[in-house]
Structure 1
Amino acid sequence: MKLFECEHCGQPLYFENTLCESCGHQLGYIPEVNKVTALEPEGQVFTALGAPGTLYKFCQNAELDACNWLIPSDSTETHCAACRHNRTIPDLSDAENMARWRKLEMAKHHLFYTLLKLKLPLRNRVDDPQGGLAFDFLSDQVDANGNVTTVLTGHDEGLITINVAEADDAERERRRTQMGEPYRTLLGHFRHEVGHYFWDKLIRDQGEEALEKCRAVFGDERADYGQALQTHYANGAPANWQESFVSTYATAHPWEDFAETWAHYLHIVDTLETARAFGIKVKPKIKLGSEMQAEVDFDPHKATNIEILIDNWLPLTYAVNAMNRSMGQPDFYPFILSPAVITKLGYIHDLTH
């Protein structure tokens, strides 16, 4: 994520900000120019200091404090490029659902920031009623007899379902511990599930040649998926899983290996952009420190190969993991990138580009 600033006063801004705390200007994000910009009201619409010459309006979800994205005022769209992918949102008359949905939207908009910067194909259910990308944000249901119908997070032909309970920090931590996962975040869920969507679009729908190239890296996805998951949950990952996989869940089936690797690729690209925005350099003061130096002085979204990303990512994670440990916190990036995993990340890099 890049670092934004208010064009009126120079105050540093976060992607989610809606008001400049320094000068009081209302703020909005314009995806076409990748700016969180200060706004001046013009009746019911706005001029943007960061994109003069065009009038803008807010996405309709801004009224619910769930979006800060802008749309050209003459557009017939009522929702922004991220929110128009929503198919179902939870019952917002429930205050808990409202709070959780806002967290979901924050994570989803962060996802779309990267997808748009990578110029990946994005079609919603209006563009493609059968296979467009859409989201259902649902909560568990309890019937009159107290029976609970649990919503499972997952993907099916472009439809991504997220259980809104994942937006509750305590519940998500409980599930992370129960599943034995080192890392579980809302943004991680979005990045993983959208990996399944892009497997469909960029591999399955591109014919046999694309499928064979993918199988050569991740294995044959025609293996029974249901049985593979049963075996994984019954037996866990193989003892040597870190030699070939980025996570234990990636060992379950080639589809999950692809989605986990896809998610980690997005983690890497987005975090390296943040490091670049803050001018972070890594130069360890030890005898072998020269082997662990990094300076992210390039746009990770436009990197020409995976080696450039990894050469900067590994030193950055060593440094931030060490800082987290100094604060008594878990590792920032608790994963090992073996040569086999880096090869898989290289495949994802080449695919996205």
Structure 2
Amino acid sequence: MKLFQCKHCLQPAYFENTKCSHCSTLLGFDPEILDLMALFEQGSGAPMIDSAGNPFRYCLNRQHEGCNWLIPMASDDRYCKACVLNQIIPDLSNPAYKKRWQTIENAKHRLLYAILRWNLPFSSKALNPSSGLGFEFKAAEENEPVITGHASGIITMNIAEADDVERAMAKKQMDEVYRTVLGHFRHEIGHYFWDVFISGSDNLSDFRDLFGDERVSYQQALEKHYQKSGSNGWQKNYISAYASSHPWEDWAETWAHYLHIVDTLETAYSFGLSLAPRLPKDVPLMSGSITKDAYCCTDFEQIIDQWIPLSLALNSLNRSMGLQDSYPFVINPEVKLKLAFVHQVIQAWSPGFRSS
């Protein structure tokens, strides 16, 4: 994600901020221009305005500290482009549920930032019940488990995923090296966009060449995976063990990793990072400057050439802090081809990216 700043005092600010920590000016994110705006109050009953005099109000979920996105005063909408997608949210009168929901919303809004950057097609279930996108955030009850996943445009998330302890336990139980709320969203939205970009399209044949035939039994494939009876040596062809379970999951995992890579590279680009390791001899793919925003980069090789040294640097920094690797994955040649395919599918979408 890009680096934001308060438009009033010009100090850096985070995507989620509702107030500048330096000058206390109100802040809000405008999804139309994909930027954080400084907002000024005009008195009782008058709308907030930005520095250009444009009037705004916050999304209704601002009252629950779950959103800082803005809506133009001329609009009748009560919820922003991200929150209008919600179909179900947990009981916010429960403080623990509310805290988890806020964590989930932060991650979901970061996901929507990427979708808006690329101008990818989506609409809410309210506008398009058959093919629209919706989110359901649920708390598991006794005898009513909640499974995080995607079905017919609905992305469901068990709010326990927003609890660090619960998520760590699930990570260990599932024998995963990486598990985050944002990672879940990036994976599940991959299933949604498989329906949009791959199913029944000219991309389907190329998809099957790379990922396999999705018509094989999905249920049987998952049962085999969870019984640990899948093929060994998945590291040669897949980004994760779960990706090896079925072509749909391979696509969703690859899609998620492409979003990980592009968004992290945009952050590095915004900070002007360059990598020049102090090693006795030059080592290929270890140095370079991140000179282009990956969201706008049409050359996949440039993206991956920038990502390899950056991910190594990130992992090394984490290890210096006694933390696990930030990116504990290996991009083998087969995975690189699959990532390139995701890149091509996104780049082929006619409206193209949006500048930020």
User: TM-score by structure 1 length?
Assistant: 0.95
> Residues 128 and 320 from structure 1, CA distance in 2 versus in 1: closer, same or farther, beyond 3 angstroms?
same
Residue in structure 1 matching 2:323, options 325, 329, 345: 329
Instruction: Give distance in 2, aligned partners of 1:44 and 1:259.
Output: 46
Counterparts of 1:134 and 1:193, CA distance in 2: 11
Question: Who is 2:67 aligned against?
Answer: 67
Spell out the pairing of 1:44-123 with structure 2 (5 A cutoff): 44-49=46-51, 52-123=52-123
| Match in the other structure for 2:292 | 298
**Residues 201-241 of structure 1 deviation map (CA, whole Å, 9 limit, x = unaligned):** 1111x43x322121111110000000000001112553321
Residue 228 (structure 1) aligned to one of 203, 209, 221? 221
Structure 2 segments unaligned to the other structure (5+ residues):
348-356
Q: 2:342 aligns with which of 344, 348, 353?
A: 348
For 1:334, give the aligned amino acid: P
State the alpha-carbon separation in 1 of the partners of residues 106 and 129 from structure 2: 25
Q: Which residue of 1 aligns with 2:354?
A: none
Aligned residue for 1:271?
Answer: 264
Letter of the aligned partner of 1:331 in structure 2?
A: D
Matches within 5 A, 1:143-222: 148-204=143-199, 206-207=200-201, 209-222=202-215
* Identity in percent: 47
Q: Distance in 2 between matches of 1:320 and 1:202?
A: 32
* CA gap 1:134/1:291 in 2 versus in 1, 3 angstroms: closer
Bigger CA drift: 255-264 or 40-49?
Answer: 40-49
Query: Once the two structures are superposed, what CA deviation does each residue of 1:248-280 show, in whole Å capped at 9, x if it has no partner?
Result: 000000000000000000000100000011111
Note the C-alpha offset of 1:294: 2.3
Q: What is the count of residue pairs matched by the alignment?
A: 344
Scaled by the length of structure 2, the TM-score of the pair is 0.94
Q: Does 1:135 align with 2:140?
A: no
Residue deviations 1:162-210, cap 9 Å, x none? 0000000000000001111000000000000000000011111x43x32
Equivalent-residue separation in structure 2 for 1:236 and 1:163 (angstroms): 27
CA gap 1:10/1:211 in 2 versus in 1, 3 angstroms:
same
Distance (Å, rounded) in 2 between the aligned partners of 1:200 and 1:327 = 41
Counterparts of 1:237 and 1:192, CA distance in 2: 21
Quote the RMSD (CA, aligned, Å). Answer: 1.2
Which segments of 5 or more consecutive residues in structure 1 lack a partner in the other structure? 143-147
1:305–1:350 Cα contact (<8 Å) kept: no
Task: Work out which structure has the larger RCO, using CA pairs closer than 8 Å and 6 or more positions apart in sequence.
Answer: 2
Letter in 2 for 1:45: P
1:27 Cα shift? 0.5
Query: Does the 8 Å CA contact 2:27/2:39 hold for their aligned counterparts?
Result: yes
Amino acid at match of 2:324: P
Q: Distance in 1 between matches of 2:156 and 2:285?
A: 43
Give the structure 2 partner of residue 145 of structure 1. none
Shift of 1:132: 0.6
Q: Deviation above 2 Å: which 4+ runs of structure 1?
A: 235-239, 288-291
CA contact (8 A) 1:284 1:292 kept: yes
SS at match of 2:291: coil
Distance 1:77 1:138 in 2: 24
